[in-house]
Structure 1
Amino acid sequence: MPRDPGGAPGGDDGTHREPAAARLPGQRQGVARVPRRRGARLRPLADAEPQEVVVGGLPFREVVSVTQIAGGVASNVVPDRVVCGLNFRYAGHRTPAAAEERLRELVGSAGELTVLSNAASAPVAVDNPLLRRLRAAGDLAVEPKQAWTPVAEFAARGLDAVNLGPGDPQFAHRRDERVGVQAMSDTLSVLRRFLSG
């Protein structure tokens, strides 16, 4: 249940959390040979556009991000191999196996894919009576959560769960990450009304 600014309950994206490594081969050569460059190929991943998918009435964005890049042998040589860490956020309409297949399609013949982890997404739990009560306690709207959270672990055990917190996702994982005092106070008030309800 994201309590992002203006937000509230919803489902989770699944993810390959620091999940996959794509080894993209090419041909090593000096940078002076620009017209004949056949270095490691990143184009298939760079061209992958985010896809909007509606699950449980909520719009999720499936996106592949390159999170790490390693390669190269010298500052004047186009590398013959690059290893990219990939993170694929996929919506709840895909099983983990289908998500892996989609990632393999995106990497295609450009390289070799090794999946390091794969966590299923959580379903949208809007029909749970406790969720309805929580929403009423804070006049909260249902919104998707563009992240993988432990909600998916509860879902894997057959338990509905949601995210609720004061954090602003635009600051997540940044050096200036922060949470507003008013947002914390508002979230605490919602939880008190829910628990005393």
Structure 2
Amino acid sequence: MGDGLGIDGDVVALTARLVDVESVSREEKRLADLVEDALRGVPHVRVDRDGDAVVARTDFGRAERVVLAGHLDTVPIAGNLPSRLDDNGLLWGCGTSDMKAGLAVQLKLAATLTAPNRDLTYVFYDAEEIAAEFNGLARLVDHHPDWLAADFAVLMEPTGGRVDGGCQGTLRVRVETTGRRAHSARSWLGENAIHKAAPILAVLAGYQPRKVEIDGLVYPEGLNAVMIEGGHAGNVIPDSCAVTVNYRFSPDQSEAEALDRVRDIFAGFHVVPTDSAPGALPGLSHPAAAAFVEAIGVPPAAKESWTDVARFSALGIPAVNYGPGDPTLAHTREENVPVAAIVAAEQKLRQWLTG
């Protein structure tokens, strides 16, 4: 098989090639095929595939195994393809930051690390940017947990070149109100469920989020309305309303504890959970994590979002986030990544895995 991506060449050019292969969530097959084809041409890795997830593993008999993982998919394109490299050393395009620069680093290392000091598992998976039920890493956890077995994992999510430990948990609930429908010309005969939602919004406006310190990292929480539904017609008093609330919680809480907290905050209202995912503790005290942080040479920080490190944590594998992209540019029309950041990420990982 040929290597249409050229994974053993320049890592910046490889990033651009990956960006130019459209891979919006649920449409990753072409990119997964290219990644699989390229990796099957690497003699020192074994390659497996499940759906549009590709896993490549070395087997050198090293004392420790590390996972490098990243998702193939992007959010929908916003007029920001094909990629372009400007005179300031910035590579622009959908997925440059989140997270095809990280994928390029993984692929370059997979192709060229022929004598690493640790065995390596390279994971490329689908559908991270959409509902958890489609997540390719979750599918691998269910179908092939043995493919993911390791002592430590690095998720190549964009972090601006620093190590982000752990991640927040996320919980979504519907806080519901009910009333009595009536003609709006005789509103006194009804009970307006939308009006009854005013105290919910007041609670949210006055909420003071916690800031929780774990292993020296500070995780700021958030409790926000992200959607409100209610109403039937322009002349009807509504008898139902629901405010969807997203709670981003510190990893010192379980999903059940987070739900209990939200129910306490909205005591007296009907609270219906719709989606949740656990957080992950930093795990920076693990020897492999400590060695990684030292190798990167930048003080670590808390991951202020949910990421798939939580899936590795649930498997008992300490995991961190580290990637060359800027997380504040993820999902934007202006998404870009500095060329120097891609090169630096590859060099630092290579030094850690060979030094």
TM-score, normalised via structure 2 length: 0.48
Q: What is residue 62 of structure 1 aligned with on the other side?
A: 221
Q: What is residue 328 of structure 2 aligned with on the other side?
A: 170
> What one-letter code is carried by the residue in structure 2 that aligns with 1:182?
A
Q: What is the RMSD computed on CA atoms of the aligned residues?
A: 2.8
> 1:74 Cα shift?
4.2
> 1:46 Cα shift?
2.6
Q: Deviations over 1:107-160 (max 9, x none)?
A: 222x31111222221111111222222222221211000111111111111110
Distance 2:325 2:315 in 1: 26
> 1:80 Cα shift?
4.8
Kept in 1: contact 2:329–2:335 (CA 8 A):
yes
> 1:47 Cα shift?
2.1
Q: Deviations over 1:155-195 (max 9, x none)?
A: 11111011111232222333433333332222222211111
Q: What is residue 174 of structure 2 aligned with on the other side?
A: 21
Q: Which shifted more, 131-140 or 95-104?
A: 131-140
Kept in 2: contact 1:9–1:141 (CA 8 A):
no
> What one-letter code is carried by the residue in structure 1 that aligns with 2:277?
A
Q: What is residue 95 of structure 1 aligned with on the other side?
A: 254
> Which fold has the larger relative contact order, with Cα–Cα distance below 8 Å and residues 6 or more apart in sequence?
1
Q: Deviations over 1:73-116 (max 9, x none)?
A: 3457775533222221111211211100111122222x311112
Distance 1:67 1:77 in 2: 24
- Alpha-carbon distance change, 177 to 3 in structure 1, aligned in 2, over 3 angstroms: closer
Does 2:301 correspond to 1:137?
A: no
Q: What is residue 339 of structure 2 aligned with on the other side?
A: 181
Does 2:159 correspond to 1:4?
A: yes
1:153 to 293, 311, 314: 311
Kept in 2: contact 1:55–1:91 (CA 8 A):
no
2:263 to 97, 104, 120: 104
> 1:59 Cα shift?
0.8
SS at match of 2:243: strand
- Alpha-carbon distance change, 108 to 133 in structure 1, aligned in 2, over 3 angstroms: same
Kept in 2: contact 1:65–1:86 (CA 8 A):
yes
> 1:68 Cα shift?
2.1
SS at match of 1:86: strand
Distance 2:237 2:214 in 1: 43
- Alpha-carbon distance change, 174 to 75 in structure 1, aligned in 2, over 3 angstroms: farther
Distance 1:98 1:156 in 2: 17
- Alpha-carbon distance change, 46 to 80 in structure 1, aligned in 2, over 3 angstroms: farther
Distance 2:210 2:179 in 1: 28
Sequence identity percentage: 32
Ranges in structure 1 where 5+ consecutive residues have no aligned partner: none
SS at match of 2:211: strand
* Equivalent runs, 1:117-136 vs 2, <5 Å: 117-136=275-294
Q: Which shifted more, 83-92 or 96-105?
A: 83-92
> What one-letter code is carried by the residue in structure 2 that aligns with 1:24?
T
Distance 2:288 2:324 in 1: 20
Q: Which shifted more, 131-140 or 151-160?
A: 131-140
> 1:52 Cα shift?
0.8
> What one-letter code is carried by the residue in structure 1 that aligns with 2:228?
I
Does 2:204 correspond to 1:51?
A: no
SS at match of 2:256: helix
- What is the total number of aligned residue pairs between the two structures? 191
Distance 1:78 1:164 in 2: 51
> What one-letter code is carried by the residue in structure 1 that aligns with 2:242?
V
Distance 1:48 1:3 in 2: 29
Kept in 1: contact 2:159–2:323 (CA 8 A):
yes
Distance 1:21 1:174 in 2: 28
